[in-house]
């Protein structure tokens, strides 16, 4: 298992310069003994560079929350159960953010030719449309709150 993590670090360690943090191995299901490679990254990061799976393990990605998050992602996390009222990673938030800051994001990604949809894919877990459809489904199932403007 640790060999897989070492191999992952060897292959994707260069992304640390772009803000990637390789946190290590984690167990997400104790009964099934399901392990994942756990990583975190800043909001502005090309998530398409990271695989969803690596040598048989899922790669679990978290976005690093910071005090200086863009206004589109500014939710009051101090309230108990805030996540039941507002989904911080709602697709609409990504769309509004890219609409407002497209040029700055292109500059930060060092990719002046990237399209709006490619930016959304890069920021939004690798596939924006997939994230959007999954979010819609989870809202229908009552597992996520519907998006509403702050």
Q: Do 82 and 23 share a structural domain?
A: no
Q: Do 35 and 18 share a structural domain?
A: yes
Domain assignment of residue 145, yes or no:
no
pTM summary value: 0.87
Of 99, 97, 70, 65, nearest to 82 by C-alpha is 65
116-123 helix and 91-109 helix, angle to the nearest 10 degrees: 100
Q: Do 102 and 52 share a structural domain?
A: no
Domain tally, the chain? 2
Q: Which domain, by its residues, includes 55?
A: 2-63
Look over the chain and give the mean of its residue pLDDT values, rounded to a whole number.
Answer: 92
**CB-based contact 45:19 (threshold 8 Å):** yes
**Residue bearing the bigger pLDDT, 98 or 84:** 98
pLDDT value for 135: 95
Span 54-65, pLDDT tens digits: 999 999 999 998
Q: Do 133 and 76 share a structural domain?
A: yes
Q: Which long-range contacts (CB under 8 A, 24 or more apart) does 135-143 make?
A: 135/87, 135/89, 135/90, 135/91
Q: Do 40 and 81 share a structural domain?
A: no
Span 41-94, pLDDT tens digits: 999 999 999 999 999 999 999 999 887 899 999 887 777 776 678 899 999 999
């Amino acid at each position: 298992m640790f060999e897989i993590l070492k191999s992952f670090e060897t292959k994707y360690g260069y992304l640390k310069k772009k803000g990637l943090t390789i946190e290590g191995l984690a167990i997400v299901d104790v009964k099934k003994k399901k392990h994942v490679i756990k990583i975190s990254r800043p909001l502005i990061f090309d998530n398409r560079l990271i695989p969803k799976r690596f040598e048989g393990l899922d790669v679990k990605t978290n976005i690093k929350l910071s005090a200086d998050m863009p206004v589109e992602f500014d939710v009051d996390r101090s309230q108990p159960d805030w996540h039941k009222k507002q989904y911080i990673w709602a697709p609409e938030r990504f769309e509004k953010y890219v609409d407002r800051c497209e040029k700055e994001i292109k500059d930060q990604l060092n990719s002046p030719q990237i399209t709006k949809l490619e930016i959304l894919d890069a920021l939004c877990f690798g596939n924006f449309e997939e994230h959007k459809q999954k979010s819609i489904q989870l809202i229908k199932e009552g597992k996520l709150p519907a998006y509403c403007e702050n």
